[in-house]
């Protein structure tokens, strides 16, 4: 039988379970788009920028059972999308990137979009392929999909030259896709060793990252068995329910919320699951880790990079925790710890909320009151997306997420512009769930125009824009050591005009008294499939623990002479203005 490359491409994508593609058609992929138009199971989604499309695909992978797929043109399509691909790569998120390619049958040089895409993407993809014949298309896409979801997930890239897409060739078969994911078998002796360490510990604790997202129930069981406090990474904020009495918050130490700092005080054995101990979740590596560290991860390359472990276990978090539970009894000291640890966490959380709420001013919105009202009005299974900025750490410290994979954010790549397109992708993948985004005004300006995509797709998302006219995370980081702000004022943005331009509804929340009505109206409009921009007159005067903690940690590492110079300069500027 004869098939075009475009027909074979769409068939393969249907077989692996792709539900949506994101991108912009161009001369190098119009044939594939024509085939997507008649697919019964795949919906092609037009975006305003391939970077936004990549963030949408990322959110599909994080919040659903399938993976996100980009369908883009070569060269500019790739360079535009690279921010989202890089975010997925460093975050361990699967993504299938399909690009057109220049013609391979003309012998001509200097063709339109003639660029070595594989060299460009070599550092931010798990693997890439260039299809050279019709017969390769289906097996290559199958292999690419398997690579994307195997081990530590990540993005993969397939280039299909336009002449192969356009023209027909003889094909022997169109095989069905079948795949059983193979997981490494956890080493039994290492599991026994870990069980012994945890049983003997006087103050065990748990630190969980995104790698534990599929093991929440097992994570709860082992936390309750040990009566151990549970902290998370930024990316892993959702993996342990925020309303569980053993949940503390993001990170451990002075840069973390008081519940984490106090509950982990004296921790003598730390069970780390699905985390790399990267810069953000460790507070610029200021986190103190006990000598008895047990580290579980699907990627053995992360072991002993920043913190040495006495026991490492290579495996899927769910499998390892299941085996660990089989080999453990409740420690004799668990009951003794139980009441104390839970009381410490509860008291510290209440104290921290009161500290924030008492900082309210009449003419602005208090972040703690905003998140309290939002949590009250959202359903437990609502999905929340955030961006990169001060609002990210306010969310981490003040919002309670209750379901795994229901709070997503940029992390190690830490790319501004993630929130809006990620919210749209999450809504497309989960049309029956409430989806809200929280973005700073600077981050919103990067990809806010993607709300046109939301309006076109009737994706009822609510984007709360924390509007203060600054790039606040950096301006606060400047203010502490420099006592001045440089190039972080973004001026006054007319968010209402942007909402109108993108076919979105607009709501303004000026102060705390307007929170309930404003959030309620926004959620109601989104429930009618309308995207909504909520302009929040946020009060950023109080700094997060994270901001203060990392500035202190980094300044503390300076050589003494440089530390004196920085402090003296800041004091002098404060006096002289």
pLDDT for 475 beyond 80: no
Please report, for residues 13, 113, 132, 135, 205, the alpha-carbon distance to residue 165 in angstroms, rounded to integers and kept in the order given.
14, 16, 11, 12, 54
Q: Kindly report the three-state secondary structure assignment for every residue of 410-442.
A: CCCCCCCCCHHHHHHHHHHHCCCCCEEEEEEHH
Q: Alpha-carbon distance 460 to 454, whole Å? A: 7
Pairing of strands 20-23, 43-46: parallel
Model pLDDT for residues 511-533, shown as the tens digit of each residue: 999 999 999 999 999 999 999 99
Closest CA to 256 of 549, 523, 486, 470: 549
Better-predicted residue by pLDDT, 530 or 577: 530
Residue 6 has pLDDT above 70, yes or no: yes
Of 494, 433, 429, 493, nearest to 462 (Cα)? Answer: 433
| pLDDT category of residue 558 using cuts at 50, 70 and 90 | confident
The mean predicted confidence, pLDDT, of the chain is: 94
Quick one: pLDDT at residue 328? 92
Mean pLDDT value across residues 346-363: 95
Q: What average pLDDT does this structure show over 59-66?
A: 97
Q: What is the pLDDT of residues 425-458, one digit of tens each?
A: 999 999 999 999 999 999 999 999 999 999 999 9
- How sure is the predictor about 67, in pLDDT bands with cuts at 50, 70 and 90? very high
Q: What is the pLDDT of residues 13-54, one digit of tens each?
A: 999 999 999 999 999 999 999 999 999 999 999 999 999 999
2-170 against 359-546: fold identical: yes
pLDDT at residue number 577: 65
Report the pLDDT value the prediction gives residue 465, as an integer from 0 to 100: 98
- Phi, psi at 134, each rounded to 5°: -60, -40
Does the domain at residues 359-546 carry the CATH identifier 3.40.50.970? Answer: yes
Residue 272 has pLDDT above 80, yes or no: yes
pLDDT value at position 550? Answer: 84
Q: Residue 410's pLDDT band (boundaries 50, 70, 90)?
A: very high
Find the helix or strand (DSSP H, E) in which 86 lies.
helix 76-91
Domain range summary for the chain, segments of one domain joined by +: 2-170, 188-348, 359-546
Asked whether the predicted pLDDT for residue 87 surpasses 80, the reply is: yes
Measured distance CA(304)–CA(5) in Å, rounded: 46
Question: What would the pLDDT profile of 133-169 be if each residue is shown by its tens digit?
Answer: 999 999 999 999 999 999 999 999 999 999 999 998 8
In this structure, what are the phi and psi dihedrals at residue 96, rounded to the nearest 5 degrees?
-110, 115
CATH number of 2-170: 3.40.50.970
- Nearest CA among 471, 531, 539 for reference residue 507: 531
User: What is the four-CA torsion angle of 533, 537, 538, 539, rounded to 10 degrees?
Assistant: 180
pLDDT band at 569 (very low <50, low <70, confident <90, very high): confident
In words, the CATH class of domain 188-348 is alpha beta
Asked whether the predicted pLDDT for residue 506 surpasses 80, the reply is yes
Beta strand 168-170 with 2-4 is antiparallel
Residues of the chain above pLDDT 70, percent: 99
pLDDT at 547: 86
């Amino acid at each position: 039988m004869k098939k075009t490359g475009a027909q074979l491409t769409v068939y393969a994508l249907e077989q692996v379970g792709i539900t949506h593609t994101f991108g912009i058609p161009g001369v190098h992929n119009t044939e594939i788009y024509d085939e997507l138009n008649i697919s019964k199971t795949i919906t092609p989604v037009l975006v305003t920028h391939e970077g936004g499309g990549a963030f949408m695909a990322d959110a599909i992978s994080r919040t659903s059972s399938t993976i996100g797929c980009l369908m883009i043109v070569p060269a500019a399509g790739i360079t535009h999308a690279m921010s989202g691909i890089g975010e997925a790569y460093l975050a361990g998120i699967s993504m299938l990137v399909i690009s057109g390619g220049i013609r391979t049958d003309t012998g001509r040089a200097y063709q339109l979009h003639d660029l070595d895409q594989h060299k460009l993407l070599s550092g931010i993809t798990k693997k890439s392929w260039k299809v050279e014949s019709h017969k390769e298309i289906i097996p290559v896409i199958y292999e690419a999909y398997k690579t994307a979801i195997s081990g530590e997930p990540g993005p993969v890239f397939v280039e299909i030259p336009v002449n192969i897409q356009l023209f027909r060739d003889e094909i022997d078969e169109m095989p069905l896709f079948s795949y059983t994911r193979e997981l490494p078998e956890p080493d039994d002796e290492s599991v026994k060793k870990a069980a012994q360490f945890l049983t003997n510990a006087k103050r065990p604790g748990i630190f969980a990252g995104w790698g534990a997202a599929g093991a929440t129930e097992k994570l709860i069981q082992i936390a309750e068995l040990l009566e151990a406090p549970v902290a998370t990474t930024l990316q892993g904020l959702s993996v342990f329910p925020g309303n569980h009495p053993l949940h503390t918050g993001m990170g451990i130490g002075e840069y973390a919320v008081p519940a984490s700092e106090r509950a982990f005080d004296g921790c003598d054995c730390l069970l780390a699951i699905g985390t790399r101990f990267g810069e953000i979740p460790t507070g610029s590596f200021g986190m103190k880790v006990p000598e008895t560290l047990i580290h579980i991860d699907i990627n053995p390359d992360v072991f002993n990079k920043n913190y040495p472990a006495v026991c490492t276990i290579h495996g899927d978090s769910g499998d390892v925790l299941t085996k660990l539970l089989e080999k453990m009894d409740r420690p004799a000291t668990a009951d003794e710890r139980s009441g104390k640890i839970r009381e410490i966490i509860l008291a510290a959380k209440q104290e921290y909320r009161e500290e924030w709420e008492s900082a309210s001013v009449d003419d602005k919105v208090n972040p703690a009151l905003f998140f309290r009202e939002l949590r009250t009005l959202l359903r437990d299974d609502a999905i929340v997306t955030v961006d990169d900025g001060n609002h990210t750490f306010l969310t981490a410290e003040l919002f309670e997420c209750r379901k795994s994979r229901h709070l997503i954010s940029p992390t190690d790549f830490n790319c501004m512009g993630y929130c809006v397109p990620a919210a749209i992708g999450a809504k497309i993948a989960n049309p029956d769930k409430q989806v809200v985004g929280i973005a700073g005004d600077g981050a919103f300006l990067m990809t806010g125009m993607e709300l046109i995509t939301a309006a076109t797709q009737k994706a009822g998302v609510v984007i709360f824009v924390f509007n203060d006219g600054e790039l606040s995370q950096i301006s606060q980081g400047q203010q502490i050591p420099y006592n001045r702000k440089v190039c972080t004022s973004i001026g006054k943005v007319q968010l209402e005009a942007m909402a109108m331009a993108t076919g979105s509804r607009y709501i303004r929340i000026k102060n705390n008294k307007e929170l309930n009505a404003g959030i309620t109206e926004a959620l109601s409009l989104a429930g009618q499939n309308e995207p909504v921009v909520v302009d929040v007159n946020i009060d950023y005067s109080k700094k997060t623990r994270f901001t203060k903690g990392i500035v202190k940690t980094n300044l503390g590492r300076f050589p003494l002479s440089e530390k004196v110079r920085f402090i003296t300069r800041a004091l002098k500027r404060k006096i002289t203005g």
